[in-house]
Amino acid sequence: MKAHDDQKAPDDHQYLLALLAAIKNIDSPRLQKLVFLLETAGAPLRYRYQMHFNEPYSEDLEADLNLLTTQGFITQEVESSTGKLVIGSTGAATDPQNISEGLRPYLHAIAELAKVDARILDFATTFGAWRKFKYDSRDAFERAVRNAGDKKIDAEGARFLERLGLLTKS
């Protein structure tokens, strides 16, 4: 089954739970970016995305998060200090033994994506979205650079994209 097929695979929710188990707690916008970049890198996650304020957004991912919350597998709470929606896994979902085999090859990328500076993650996501939806690598990179507006972020973002295998040196 190809990514973004209309049919959901039975293990889609397991992959999402495994991802949340690996990162513990994460705010909703960051999770959207992380899942998008993991899919772009080849992880077996299947979500459809659209551009939303120059970033990829998946209503399908949001729906799956709401379903998993309703079923008690994860929690979604508004953080009082920031007002951000924070998502966390509960019970068996937090057990490292429950990390799905399909995501094991991506554990290093998951850990790196979960801790990377938000500005670098924004840069990488902007590049990935423009690359996926519309532009070749060079044009997508130039758009990400314009969006970041910070030479330090540009350089760090490029190195980060290379480490994830999303950008090759030219």
Q: For the segment 103-155, what is each residue's pLDDT rounded down to a tens digit?
A: 777 777 787 888 888 888 888 888 888 778 777 777 777 777 777 777 777 78
Tell me which of 11-20, 33-42, 58-67, 100-109 is least confident: 100-109
| pLDDT for res 98 | 56
Query: What CA–CA distance (Å, rounded) separates 24 from 87?
Result: 8
Q: Which long-range contacts (CB under 8 A, 24 or more apart) does 159-167 make?
A: 160/116, 160/120, 160/123, 160/124, 161/124, 161/127, 163/112, 164/37, 164/41, 164/109, 164/112, 164/113, 164/124, 165/41, 166/37, 166/40, 166/41, 166/124, 166/127, 166/128, 166/131, 167/127, 167/137, 167/141
Strand partners, 20: none
Residues, the chain? 170
| pLDDT for res 1 | 34
Looking at residues 47-72, what average pLDDT do you find? 87
Query: What CA–CA distance (Å, rounded) separates 52 from 98?
Result: 32
- Please give the class, per CATH, of domain 1-115: alpha beta
pLDDT band at 60 (very low <50, low <70, confident <90, very high): very high
Indicate the SS3 state at residue 44.
coil
Strand partners, 85: 78
pLDDT tens digits, one per residue of 14-29: 788 878 877 777 888 8
Looking at residues 63-67, what average pLDDT do you find? 89
Cβ atoms of 115 and 107 within 8 Å: the answer is no
Record the pTM.
0.76
Looking at residues 24-51, what average pLDDT do you find? 86
pLDDT band at 91 (very low <50, low <70, confident <90, very high): low
Which structure tokens are listed for 169? Answer: 């040196």
- The residue extents of the domains of the chain are 1-115, 117-170
